[in-house]
Chain A
Amino acid sequence: MRGLWSQANPGFVPPSSADFDFAPIFGDSILFTKPVLLVFLSVIVAGSFFTLSARKAAIVPSKLQFAGESVYTFIRNELGRDVIGPEFMRFVPFLFSLFIFILTNNIFGIVPLLQFPTMSHIGFPIGVTIFSYVTYHYVAIKKHGFSKYVKDICFMPGIPKPVYLILTPVELLTYLVTRPLTLSMRLFANMFAGHLLLLVFTLGGEYLLTSGLILKFLSLFSFGFAIGLSFFELGIQALQAYIFTLLTALYIAGALADEH
């Protein structure tokens, strides 16, 4: 795809955002590109893993159930109960789905053969962010009523009046724009950058292999780095899934709180 193997060596072409564009695997619909298919694969993988592990719901869990339950318990207790508080149970299915969906898609970035973090296409994080966005606004409006919610955002109680001149636009911007934007951007950018980094070292190693003898030897380091970075990426992928879910939980907790 990149002409690296052509006889006339064109010099190293660094990976770019073009490497994130995929032609449809068949037909010309965008619905049959690799990222889209990976997203649906993630639904199948995550969905079947957790439904299967929950299937028996035994008091003494099997290994599979234990694995599924560990993830579920972590989200339920650390992000649901501890962050949202007494009403958390309503949001556990959402938070849990959020976490495993993002996690699965992120981990695709280092799964051999798949090797593409789907969240590095910003459309997917945005699609998920819509859920968070709608949820925390909906929860707040349902809890406090629309007018009180808007009033709470625009005029935070216990603040000197002149400060509202600055604070009101900032708060409005935070609730309506910054939150969803940062939520999707953070996830997208981390995955994008991580994948780019891996590309640099793998493509670099590949390039070095086609060069002179000493450079061939150096390609070992490049590949070694790529492998090390893959594990580093695994940490980031899990962390980003966690952060996305944590922030959503915090926004929901804020929406449920009496005072903002």
Chain B
Amino acid sequence: MFSKFGFLASAEAGASPVIPKPAEIAVGFIAFGILFLLIRARAVPRFEKAYKDRTEAIEGGLERAEVAQREAAEALQMYKAQLADARGEAAKLREEARAEGSVILEQMRTTAQEEATRITASARTSIEAERQVAFNSLLNEVGALATELASRIVGESLDDVARQSRVVERFLEEVEKSK
């Protein structure tokens, strides 16, 4: 009865299943050996290579991204610095220009003032001179004229007012003409 259920069936089926057949041990050994050599030579190195490449690709990508980010940040910093510089420069220039402008303005004003003063002074001087000349000549002429007029009036009759005024008018006309 029991013999029908397996291990003790060796009587009808030959050897018990727990007794190994040497040929099968050898086959198992050799077959596994072949597979092992094949896998070691052709599969594992390539899987490892794929791993390595992938790791490098990912790490390389991250590294490159990091470098790019750093560079971008540096560039931004630089541009900001440059912008600040430029702004400062512009402000300075404006300040300088303003200062310079006011200096120039001041100078010009002073110059103009001086010029004006000088012109005024020279004008005054020349006017004074001319006046002096005119005065001198007038003085001479008036003297002469007065003398002439007096002689004329004296020459004519002094009692006639109309005549007198005629004499004066005539005299003035002559003076006018003689000029």
Contacts and interface: CB of A to CB of B under 8 A. Distances in A.
Interface of A: 13-14, 16-18, 20-21, 30-31, 35-36, 39-40, 42-43, 46-47, 50-51, 53-59, 61, 65, 68-69, 72-73, 76, 92-94, 96-98, 100-101, 120-128, 130-131, 185, 188, 192, 196
Contact of B36 (A21, A36, A131): A131
Contacts of A39: 27-28, 31
A130 B143 CA distance: 163
B160 interface: no
Contact of A100 (B39, B40, B46, B57): B39
Give chain B's interface residue range (CB within 8 Å of chain A). Answer: 35 or more
Given A39-B31, A54-B47, A59-B50, A47 B39 contact: yes
A31 B27 contact: yes
Contacts of A47: 34-35, 38-39
B21 A51 contact: no
Given A17-B9, A121-B21, A51 B38 contact: yes
Contacts of B47: 54, 57, 68-69, 72-73, 76
A57 B49 contact: yes
Contact of A122 (B3, B18, B36): B18
Contacts of B44: 54, 72, 92-93, 96
Contacts of B28: 39, 123-128
B4 A123 contact: no
B35 A54 contact: no
B20 A126 contact: yes
A16 B33 CA distance: 31
A36 B24 contact: yes
Contacts of A17: 6-7, 9-10, 13, 16-17
Nearest to A35: B24
Given A123-B24, A127-B26, A58 B50 contact: yes
Contacts of A68: 43, 47
A188 B24 CA distance: 13
Contacts of A46: 35
A124 B18 CA distance: 12
B50 A65 contact: yes
B12 A127 contact: no
B32 A16 contact: no
A42 B13 CA distance: 26
Contact of A57 (B5, B33, B50): B50
A122 B27 CA distance: 12
Given A21-B14, A57-B53, A123 B39 contact: no
B4 A59 contact: no
26 contacts: A16-B4, A42-B31, A43-B34, A43-B38, A47-B38, A50-B43, A51-B42, A53-B43, A55-B46, A57-B50, A94-B40, A97-B39, A97-B40, A98-B32, A121-B20, A123-B24, A123-B25, A126-B20, A126-B28, A127-B25, A127-B28, A127-B29, A128-B29, A130-B29, A192-B17, A196-B6
